[in-house]
Chain A
């Protein structure tokens, strides 16, 4: 072809003129969950159920949407119907999920004309004799106190579905009725929260599987303000042996009086292990890895039917296994990538995990009084690989991955009972963190000590390393004794946040907190 190409269709050429330039944008960046509280996972728990009866079971819990103020209204704290909430279990040591519990929510507005999400009082209240027209006296106005999910005053009602995906096969978990999410505790006049909590704890059509979702007491406890004021702990970060042994708080639990949204699933151990059986603690098949994730619908750059680079229709917003890893070990610039990535890829963060900045901060902040081991911190491997003393000898270590490791063969210990320690494994209680995580495990103190090297042996397993702590030893309220084991949401009317220097440092009783 020697002839020049003809001139092209003129309007088509003119189209090329109109290539719009980009316009200005200015972002102030923040880690992704700082912008998406509903998808922010606060805690993950995995432990052998310690209530009586039945086959050996594991309770898995994920908490989302941090620091909910129960007095806040009128819309309360629904789960986000756009989020896919997932609890994931690895049972073959490759840090890839083998069993997943997927939870989705739907919201129903039953009282669109009422400003409050829930409304109720006593046996109901009618208009008085002097009620102005057009509403006649003695007209029912305020519904009766809410005691069930079907009560008239229950305005914003959420149902949810649970699907178990095991080895790629999805099985809906259903019950005799729809699963309703337990609302926040608006207050004693409006609702009988404990009754709703009990009704919202569902046995399902799948044998020995229970589910629960709802707003509950935030089960975490910590002197959060001191921790995030560059470890400015009020007790100097080191406990006396007496303080360490007592089930009392000497500093204030910043999370006291706050609520959180929780999703809990209880399943037989045999549904989680790769062998489909309850394995002995010495079995290499006994230990599972557990983490939770939140995902939102994904916008793919290449739409179907074009070739897609998307791995699915959801994109992960956050994930969590061990407590405090993303919070205090992962650098801010890497937090989003960590949140959106998969545990099996955590090798990319190994430098942060095995030479944790937190350890160096403790070392520096105490002027060297708290000596720490030299990196790489192989003593931390049990937290991020399958390794003794959690997993049995001979268990494949798998990749470095942030998951809770739970040896399902270790018998449960009833918190408060014989053999229990808030310090879990460090306190000689093999059923506690970092073997899984119970609600009662003091993961702040445990993590401080582990990061400071107590698992590395002498000299790091003695004072002061072995007595590091924030001074908050117990939660501000009690947990329930059976599934879902979570505590009741504080009443919005009567909740109490215990502050520094305030009398009643331990669940509102006892001496004052250290200011």
Chain B
């Protein structure tokens, strides 16, 4: 990846569209989850080429990743003001992500419906992604049957059908089918951890750990949860959680830190961290479950 970035930089020196090259570079940073560099790149780009809608989308994505929700909010609002009634699907999808993380699930659903209306019928992959996201939100809203129905539509063109399939079974409370579906997924650490959490099989946890170690920084949240729980190495969990928290402070990262703090016996600090997470407004069920175990609950 670093080599590719160097090539990209060299290409940009003589590029006919340096603006486009810079945007690609920021997208790569986002894919690397280097949100700080992506945000800085987007801000720099915005100074050079002001008020470009896609730049604001990249900035909002980076700020969401960093957990800078106020800045993400500002970037999104300006983007929508720039294109009143004419934002594209990605813009509405970002809005859905923002609303979801701040606890406005119904608003997120509304945003995804708007996004869906702006995707061409031929864009099967994008339509499936949006449907899958919508299904997840419907699950959060407690509408299991509707979520299952939406997921069946999403399955039609989803690149990793099993991922969606597993969720559908989970939505229908059919854990066995979900496990079977998860086993058909590529052996990515996050999928393997989800599988292990369903099976409680030490072999599955071992497979997760092996994959996570082989692919550094690809599933740090899952590693923190593993070390803080089944892995029973709270010190390692806390060290990793603090390292992640230094890079970003989004709700999932901070939630993992709270779990690690609790596992390390720092209950007061864990609750303080969790209160800050809940203050964002998130209704994420995993976070809510952790909060309840810390004796806290969303407002």
Contacts and interface: CB of A to CB of B under 8 A. Distances in A.
B23 to A, nearest CB: 9
A75 to B, nearest CB: 20
A18 B132 contact: yes
A271 B12 CA distance: 59
Contacts of A17: 163, 166-167, 190-191, 194
B3 interface: no
Given A15-B167, A18-B136, A7 B107 contact: no
Given A25-B57, A27-B52, A306 B104 contact: yes
B82 A8 contact: no
Given A1-B265, A5-B293, A303-B107, A10 B84 contact: no
A20 B132 contact: yes
User: On chain B, which size bracket covers the interface?
Assistant: 35 or more
B99 A4 contact: no
A14 B167 contact: yes
A299 B83 CA distance: 10
B286 A8 contact: yes
Contacts of B265: 1-2
Contacts of A36: 84, 86
Given A13-B197, A309-B73, A317 B98 contact: no
Interface in B107-132: 107, 123, 125-126, 129-130, 132
Interface string B120-151: 00010110011011011001100000000000
A305 to B, nearest CB: 10
A228 interface: no
Contacts of A2: 263, 265
Interface stretch (A207-215, A329-337, A436-444, A485-493): A329-337
B33 to A, nearest CB: 12
Contacts of B241: none
Given A12-B285, A18-B167, A301-B73, A1 B99 contact: no
Chain B interface, >50% SS class? helix
B61 A333 contact: no
B61 A22 contact: yes
A86 to B, nearest CB: 15
B53 interface: yes
A459 to B, nearest CB: 37
A32 interface: yes
Interface residues of A, number: 49
A24 B24 CA distance: 10
A301 B80 contact: yes
Contacts of B28: none
A310 interface: yes
Given A301-B77, A317-B84, A12 B51 contact: no
A302 B30 CA distance: 24
A302 B73 contact: yes
A461 B270 CA distance: 74
Contacts of B85: 82, 296-297, 299
B102 interface: yes
Contacts of A13: 194, 197, 286
Q: Residue among A18, A21, A29, A297 with the most chain B CB within 10 A?
A: A18
Contact of B50 (A22, A301, A334): A334
B51 A14 contact: no
Contacts of A23: 89-90, 93, 123, 125-126, 129
A337 B178 CA distance: 50
B57 A35 contact: no
A9 B287 CA distance: 10
Interface in A293-336: 296-303, 306, 309-310, 315, 317, 333-334, 336
Contacts of B234: 4
Given A25-B88, A303-B99, A303-B104, 11 more contacts: A5-B263, A14-B194, A14-B198, A17-B163, A18-B167, A23-B125, A25-B57, A27-B53, A301-B76, A302-B102, A315-B80
The 9 closest A-B pairs by CB, nearest first: A12-B285, A1-B267, A296-B84, A8-B289, A11-B170, A333-B50, A20-B129, A25-B90, A20-B133
24 contacts: A1-B270, A4-B229, A4-B262, A7-B200, A8-B290, A9-B289, A10-B170, A10-B198, A11-B139, A11-B285, A12-B285, A17-B163, A17-B191, A27-B88, A29-B51, A82-B85, A296-B84, A297-B85, A301-B95, A302-B99, A306-B102, A306-B104, A333-B51, A337-B51
Interface of A: 1-18, 20-27, 29, 32, 35-36, 82, 296-303, 306, 309-310, 315, 317, 333-334, 336-337, 340
